[in-house]
Structure 1
Amino acid sequence: MTAGSSSSAAPPAGDAPAAPPSPRRITAEVLIVLGLSLGQSGVYAAMSLADKLTRGPLAGQTTTLNPVLNEREYFDLAYQLLDIGFALMPVALVLFLLSGTGVSAVRQLGLTFDQPLRTIGAGVGLAAIIAVGTIGVYTGGRALGITTALVPAALDDYWWTVPVLVLSALRHAVLEEVIVVGYLFIRLRHLGWSTPAIIITSALLRGSYHLYQGFGPFIGNVLMGLLFAWFYARTRRVMPLVIAHALIDITGFVGYALLGPVLDLGT
């Protein structure tokens, strides 16, 4: 190669902006991400519901969240922390995939505290709306016999019980809102989906992985999904959704752990 031709050579490929993924690649990516995370949970939840329906009325059955994973205290703690940590790996995968464009995945999702007071305020407001609706849907579902009794926390009473329940709540909040709302919106937009179609798809997916609790929680989570996806469509901010979801789950998990046995909640 001559000196003249060397001066006009193209820059290294690593210096060029990343080309957007093809629609086929995006479709495959979405299916893989969901297959490793909440899409898989939806399939198992549907199977669990079918199993419960063949055993007897849903009203007479109980669903336990946050169960004991080992009868020995520190092995249980280790298993709980491992379960929480590995459950968040799909979130790490999503952040890695979205950052391939060279734009911060955190900023693409709106997973930031750029406006702290406004972000926290929106999260608290959404949590209040969902909390009231959740109580109504659960009570109605139990009365109609289409919802199992829920036990939000069944951990033994250790010094680490409350911190682990808080971490579990944060795990659910980050995993669900980042993948089912933020990631799905970004990728389905790349595929040309309309906003209403994305909102409905996101809400149905959210409802699907709660089917193991009965039809009432499915309906309640679809309604929650519609509100959360609509909010994201307007704001492109996933952080308020994470805050709202975390507040709801922390209240349910920790509240039940502290007061459930005394007040006989969840029946």
Structure 2
Amino acid sequence: MLALSLGQSALYSVLSFVRSATAGVALSEQATALNPERADQALWDAVYRVCDVLFDLCLVALVVYLLWEPGRSALRRIGLDVSRVGRDAAVAILLLAAIGIPGLALYAASRLAGLTLEVQAGSLDAAWWTIPLLVLSAARAGLLEEVILNGYLGERLDELGWRAWRILAAIALLRGLYHLYQGPAMAVGNVAMGLVFGGVYLRWRRVMPLVIAHTLLDTFAFVGYPLAAPYLP
């Protein structure tokens, strides 16, 4: 499962970082794009983006299928349901504040220290569907990462008898690795996010608040960052 999804992303992220680190140019002078264009024409770009989302959601569906057991719903097992909407939303808002504000500060500080690539924002006015597609991409990332990292990997490692601290370490390290392409500082920040999110999941066995929080974080990053980028280092 990991080889088809986040494990693959982690490998390519490590390779991308090694390439950047050995390019003979400082990391601070290099750049990586948020949601790079998939095609020159806006319509075809949208078509490809929607296809990307659908294929990633197929991986989420596969995880749910693999976790399903006779007489036991996989959705309830990992807490991917709407039975506690109010509580999940409240936890998500707390996670958003706990991760989002320090994350923005970490990016700004690491850019000043030359430890992070410049994150280039895309245009928000390419077409009327640009912002809705960015929100859709944020939801896709929230579902894919949290369901696979916590709901699938966390459950499988627990079944193997791993202790909680080992599960947390594995989840956090994998999250950090597939963000390493942004630079070591942001990878460390994502390891911290992995520890927090993983701890919340292992405590309550609910992935829904993590999905909501991650979706909000990425929505602010995808939509808010282009507006804030001119004022950041």
TMscore range, shorter length: over 0.9
Moved over 3 A (4+): 152-156
Q: Corresponding residue for 1:189?
A: 158
Deviation (angstroms), 1:173: 0.5
Greater C-alpha radius of gyration: 1
RMSD over aligned Cα, in angstroms?
1.4
CA offsets per residue over residues 201-252 of structure 1, 9 Å max, x none? 1000001000111111100000000000011111111100011111111011
Higher relative contact order (CA 8 A, sep 6+): 2
Contact kept? 1:68, 1:155, Cα under 8 Å: no
Partner SS, residue 250 of structure 1: helix
Distance 2:110 2:67 in 1: 39
Query: What is the TM-score with the length of structure 1 in the denominator?
Result: 0.83
User: Cα deviations across residues 55-97 of structure 1 (Å, max 9, x unaligned)?
Assistant: 1211101110111111112111101111111122221110111
Structure 2: gaps (5+ residues): none
Number of aligned residues: 232
Give the residue type in structure 2 aligned to 1:42: A
CA gap of 1:180–1:152, structure 2 versus 1, over 3 A, is: farther
Please report how far the alpha carbon of residue 133 of structure 1 lies from its aligned counterpart in structure 2 after TM superposition.
1.4
Does the 8 Å CA contact 2:89/2:212 hold for their aligned counterparts? yes
Q: Is 1:37 equivalent to 2:9 in the alignment?
A: no
Is structure 2 residue 195 aligned with structure 1 residue 226? yes
1:156 CA displacement:
5.7
Provide the C-alpha distance between the structure 2 equivalents of 1:159 and 1:165, rounded to a whole number of angstroms. Answer: 11
Once residues 41 and 60 of structure 1 are traced to their aligned partners in structure 2, the CA distance between those partners, rounded to angstroms, is 23
User: In the alignment, is the contact (CA less than 8 A) between 1:66 and 1:154 conserved in 2?
Assistant: no
Q: Is the 8 A contact 1:148 1:214 kept in 2?
A: yes
Partner Cα distance (1:176, 1:52) in 2: 24
Query: In structure 2, do the counterparts of structure 1 residues 95 and 266 end up closer, same or farther at CA, with 3 Å as the change threshold?
Result: farther
Give aligned-pair identity as a percent.
45
Q: List per-residue Cα deviations over 1:88-143 (Å, max 9, x = no partner).
A: 22211101111144411110111112122111000011011101110121122112
CA distance in structure 2 between the aligned counterparts of 1:146 and 1:227, rounded to whole angstroms: 23
**Runs of 5+ in structure 1 lacking a partner?**
1-32
| Aligned residue in 1 for 2:230 | 264
- Provide the residue aligned with 1:107 in structure 2: 76
Does the 8 Å CA contact 1:173/1:242 hold for their aligned counterparts? yes
CA distance in 1, matches of 2:139, 2:218: 8
Q: Which residue of 2 aligns with 1:118?
A: 87
Q: Which residue of 1 aligns with 2:45?
A: 76
Q: Would you say the 8 A contact 1:45–1:210 is kept in 2? A: yes
